[in-house]
Amino acid sequence: MTPYQNPTIYLGNLRVDEPVTTLTDFLFIGICFYAFYKTGAFAGNKGINLYRWFFLLTGCSSLIAALIGHAFLYYFGWEAKIYGWVTGIISVSFAQFAALYHTRESISKSIFKTLMVLNITEVLAAFILTFVIYSFTVVEIHTAYCLLINVTILESIHYKKTKSVFSKYMLYGVGFCVLAVLVHVFKLAISVWFNHLDLSHIFMALSMFTMYRGVKLNNEPF
């Protein structure tokens, strides 16, 4: 059981586990889908378009997690969590390739090619290990590699060279992700009705909204 897990509620005859966790997940999902929809005008640029798919697929992954991993886990069973893990790996992978293409002009061609091969290899390894080990830990390590190594370093290099508003907001967004992880790791719960999962979802929502604002406020040519 999750520490400070939300008590189960019933909507008529429908049992809903972890209702607040599910609700805060839907807040995050809504922002993800909103970000994808509102950035459609920027789809012509490859880097931006990959970030847009990161928004969309992260929302889809969280939707699966909210329904299968929280609200109705009792019905689907623990094994069904694999669907959320796999879509999570796919969604975050788009962020690392988005950062690579967005910052392409700020790194050398050899570094770009090396990172491309390395990232493809890492994604394949994450997929295989998820099914072999069957653990969410693989998804967490993959996420850390994508966001902390790829997005943070590449967007930092690009910001240093260009002062890109977009890169700056991406870095802020990763910062909110780190806060979400810390809340999750240290189980910073307020009560059973607002536990560490609920609070981490709030920081995740702030992270996604910040990244979305980076796209909207960006003034650099692509």
**pLDDT, tens digit, 9 for 90 and up, residues 28-74:** 999 999 999 999 988 888 999 999 999 999 999 999 999 999 999 99
Residue 110 has pLDDT above 60, yes or no: yes
Looking at residue 222, its pLDDT comes to 42
Q: Which among 189, 199, 202, 201 has a CA at the least distance from the CA of 3?
A: 189
Residue 97 has pLDDT above 50, yes or no: yes
Separation between Cα atoms, residue 83 and residue 61, nearest integer Å: 8
pTM over 0.85: yes
CA-based max dimension of the chain? 60
Separation between Cα atoms, residue 84 and residue 156, nearest integer Å: 30
Looking at residue 219, its pLDDT comes to 47
Looking at residue 136, its pLDDT comes to 87
Looking at residue 44, its pLDDT comes to 83
Residue 1 has pLDDT above 80, yes or no: no
**Which domains are assigned to the chain?**
13-217 (1.20.1070)
Q: Which among 97, 111, 96 has a CA at the least distance from the CA of 146?
A: 96
pLDDT grade for 7, boundaries at 50, 70 and 90: very high
List, for residues 126-185, the tens digit of each pLDDT value: 999 999 999 989 999 999 999 999 999 999 999 999 999 999 999 999 999 999 999 988
List, for residues 79-96, the tens digit of each pLDDT value: 999 999 999 999 999 999
Looking at residue 42, its pLDDT comes to 87
Q: SS3 string of the chain?
A: CCCCCCCCEEECCEEECCHHHHHHHHHHHHHHHHHHHHCHHHCCCHHHHHHHHHHHHHHHHHHHHHHHHHHCHHHHCHHHHHHHHHHHHHHHHHHHHHHHHHCHHHCCHHHHHHHHHHHHHHHHHHHHHHHHHCCHHHHHHHHHHHHHHHHHHHHHHHHHHHCCHHHHHHHHHHHHHHHHHHHHHCCCCCECCECHHHHHHHHHHHHHHHHHHHHHHCCCCC
pLDDT grade for 3, boundaries at 50, 70 and 90: low
